[in-house]
Structure 1
Amino acid sequence: MVKTTFIIDDDDIYVYAIKRLINIRKLSEQVVVFKNGKQAIDYFVETPLEEVIMPDIILLDIRMPVMDGWGFLEQFSKLDFVGKHKVGVYVVSSSIDPRDLRKADEFPLVEKYLFKPINSEDLKFIFSPS
């Protein structure tokens, strides 16, 4: 079981559904939700280093207000945390724009680009031990 999963997404219905699915299947001990990329970056920047919980998995939407997923990836890439390279970032979006898929490939932290809604096979892929 994964220890901590961050969901960065402003879609309340999706967040409710995916969080419930993760909890029902006991895929993660803890699920933390941020409504946009800025909230997540603020968590990493403003939380004292010794108190930061580094997620094992981040499920990241790209279309959000305040700071979108691309902005989050740019800022998160610049942060210096022990274990950051072990975080599996999965872009989860309803966008099928090929430019978004190519852009996700530009970020080494992104494991995979997945389309909403996430299905059972996607969950197996994301939460399977590597």
Structure 2
Amino acid sequence: MEKIKCILLVDDDPTTNFVNETLLEDLQVSEQVLIAYNGKEALKLIQNECESDLCPELILLDINMPVMNGFEFLKAYQRLEFAHKQSVVIVMLTTSLNPGDIKQIDELPLKIKGFLNKPLTEQMVRNLFQKHFHRDLPI
């Protein structure tokens, strides 16, 4: 399977990031996995990496984080300008089952590509890659 260039994990929980990063590396789906612990760090990473042509192709975004949460990140992300922005796949990966969060996501002008409940699993990654990148993971 052809790997995507970069995946960005945005979550304030180090354990969650470690588990997700390990899963993604074990599945060999990306050349690079970046980690940000809040939306503000994620915006800086995107700006820096996109300048060096390593823009994330997939962003897995938590909702509830300190400094800048997932909703605030999405609003700020909309104002960013960089090549290939329209092709970036953003998926909410959260433990929140709050109907208000889901409604708020649906009302955003920036349409995210999915809403997944933690923890990230191999099957979730398979489904994401089939649906959004038209690639099957090796068995």
Q: Normalising by the residue count of structure 1, what TM-score does the alignment of the two structures yield?
A: 0.90
8 Å CA contact 2:5, 2:55 repeated in 1:
no
Please name the residue that 1:71 is paired with.
Answer: 72
* Separation of aligned partners in 2, 1:6 and 1:37: 11
Shift of 1:2: 1.6
RMSD over equivalenced CA pairs, Å: 1.7
Please name the residue that 2:29 is paired with.
Answer: 27
Count of residue correspondences: 129
Please give the residue correspondences for 1:13-52 in structure 2 after superposition, counting only pairs within 5 Å.
Answer: 13-45=15-47, 47=48, 50-51=51-52
Matched position secondary structure for 2:93 = strand
Shift of 1:126: 1.7
8 Å CA contact 1:44, 1:52 repeated in 2:
no
Deviations 1:24-66 (A, max 9, x none): 1111110000110001112344x38632521110000011110
8 Å CA contact 1:88, 1:110 repeated in 2:
yes
Please name the residue that 1:11 is paired with.
Answer: 13
Shift of 1:79: 1.0
Q: Letter of the aligned partner of 1:98 in structure 2?
A: P
Shift of 1:17: 0.5
8 Å CA contact 1:5, 1:28 repeated in 2:
yes
CA distance 1:66–1:122, shift in 2 (3 Å): same
* Separation of aligned partners in 1, 2:53 and 2:63: 23
Structure 1 stretch displaced more, 100-109 or 88-97: 100-109
Structure 1 stretch displaced more, 93-102 or 113-122: 113-122
* Separation of aligned partners in 2, 1:120 and 1:111: 18
Please name the residue that 2:87 is paired with.
Answer: 86
Please name the residue that 1:102 is paired with.
Answer: 103
8 Å CA contact 2:8, 2:33 repeated in 1:
yes
Please name the residue that 2:137 is paired with.
Answer: none
Q: Normalising by the residue count of structure 2, what TM-score does the alignment of the two structures yield?
A: 0.85
